[in-house]
Amino acid sequence: MSEVLYTSLDISTLIDTLDFAAKKHSRQKRKDREGTPYINHPIGVAKNLVDAGITDLVTIQAAILHDTVEDTDTTFEEIESKFGNEVKNVVEEVTDDKLLPYEERKRLQIVHTPHISVKAKVVKLADKLYNLRDLQRSVPVNWTEKRVQEYFIWSKQVTDGAKGINQKLDDQLEDLYQNGTFEFNNITYKSYPKQIK
């Protein structure tokens, strides 16, 4: 693998992006039982990309910022003014419209994913990979085992629309769908069952 050389400007831009996201998500927690800081998620999504060999700065920035518009008071205009049009466009491609009902947002992710840019697709794959691993680690409060399995099934429908972009991400997701398990009330369940009754 060839070594990627970063300039001090790249590192400064990356730190600015992390700082912006950390401030925007500062009061938010994940839905897991531990209530982990929300910022762990976008950082983890960016790490999934780097671990898969993706080091493009715009893509990493978009991963770090991918939930800021959806889940904070951030606007697309704010992202564009601070980080540029290209970063804004990728974030926009992976942002759900919170004005729509939850089920419609889920449906649209399945429909839109095959048609978004390559950069947005890998962010989407890394995001789902993080969320699925997080579900295996800790089932959110008030979720049932069936809801976890339904999330896995829906995630596969979304990620199938982005297959073929990055083999490492594809392989990790496929392993979760084929072999993943999680614990709920001291019982081990298949994460992705063949059928849910």
- Give the tens place of pLDDT for each residue, 39-63: 999 999 999 999 999 999 999 999 9
Q: Is the pLDDT of residue 2 over 90?
A: no
The one catalytic residue in 70, 78, 150, 160 is 70
- Among this protein's residues, is 71 annotated catalytic? yes
Q: How confident is the model at residue 194 (pLDDT cuts 50, 70, 90)?
A: confident
Q: Is the pLDDT of residue 104 over 70?
A: yes
Residue 43, burial from CB neighbour count under 10 angstroms (0-12, 13-18, 19+) = middle
CATH class belonging to 8-190: mainly alpha
Q: Is the pLDDT of residue 5 over 80?
A: no
CA distance 64 to 39: 9
Dihedrals phi, psi of 59, to nearest 5 degrees: -65, -40
- Among this protein's residues, is 134 annotated catalytic? no
Res 1: pLDDT: 40
Res 144: pLDDT: 95
Domain ranges of the chain: 8-190
Res 197: pLDDT: 46
The one catalytic residue in 71, 78, 86, 92 is 71
The structure's pTM equals 0.94
- Give the tens place of pLDDT for each residue, 157-176: 999 999 999 999 999 999 99
Q: How confident is the model at residue 18 (pLDDT cuts 50, 70, 90)?
A: very high
